Amino acid sequence: MIEQSGAPSMHATTIILVRKGGKTVIAGDGQVSLGQTIIKGNARKVRRLGKGQVIVGFAGATADAFTLCERLEAKLEQYSGQLLRACVELAKDWRTDRYLRRLEAMMLVADKNTALVLTGTGDVLEPELASGGVVMGIGSGGNYALAAGRALIEGDLDAETIARRSLQIAADICVYTNSNIVVESVDSP
């Protein structure tokens, strides 16, 4: 894809969140693409924040996502690890701050009680509860992973297996997604 300026644009990745059976998993692929070129195949786009109690996966421009992760970490410290409050405050800043408004990324975040998607338009969205659990997906292959996850959630598979299979399906369809998968998890009620 070429932006109007003529420079190649950075393509996102695929991130999926699955909550099932007392476990919340965020998984992401490792591909970073610029235009039609794969720049890196083993980027780590899923990380732990908040003294290891929060997991986050990001899609979009990598430097922008790192900036947002640092800001979220600061908000978690400011609000004593309250993930929802920290995310709402980050979303307010992201939407209103002139510098942050230009950041191009999306994030899935979770702790033992909460799972959210954050966007640059100020959205802090909780997932829709499916009968078997929760599935959310973002990034260029996010809809493929989301569809696969929704199909798998009602079966006997655990959260991590669903996340891995969903990402593999997305990697088989989306050219901006690979099968170098990183997974982080937290126990949930």
Name all domains of the chain by residue range, CATH numbers in brackets: 10-178 (3.60.20.10)
Active-site residues, by number, are 13
Are 21 and 163 in contact by the 8 Å Cβ rule? The answer is no
Model confidence pLDDT, tens digit, residues 140-180: 999 999 999 999 999 999 999 999 999 999 999 999 999 99
**What does 18-82 look like in DSSP terms, one character per residue?**
EEETTEEEEEE---EEETTEEEES----EEEETTTTEEEEEEE-HHHHHHHHHHHHHHHHHTTT-
Q: What mean pLDDT is predicted for residues 60-71?
A: 82
Q: Which residues of 14-50 are buried (b: 16+ CB within 10 A; e: fewer)?
A: bbbbbbbeebbbbbbbbbbbeeeeeeeeebebbbebb
CA end-to-end distance (rounded Å), the chain: 42
Dihedral of CA 156/160/164/166: which sign? positive
Percent residues over pLDDT 90 in the chain: 65
Residues in the chain: 189
User: How does strand 32-34 pair with strand 37-40?
Assistant: antiparallel
Compute CA distances 2 → 14, 36, 37, whole Å.
20, 10, 12
**pLDDT (0 to 100) of residue 94:** 80
**pLDDT (0 to 100) of residue 2:** 37
Tally Cβ neighbours within 10 Å of residue 9: 15
Model confidence pLDDT, tens digit, residues 4-34: 445 554 556 899 999 999 999 999 999 988 8
| 113 alpha-carbon distance from chain centroid | 17
User: Chain-wide mean pLDDT for the chain?
Assistant: 88
Tally Cβ neighbours within 10 Å of residue 85: 14
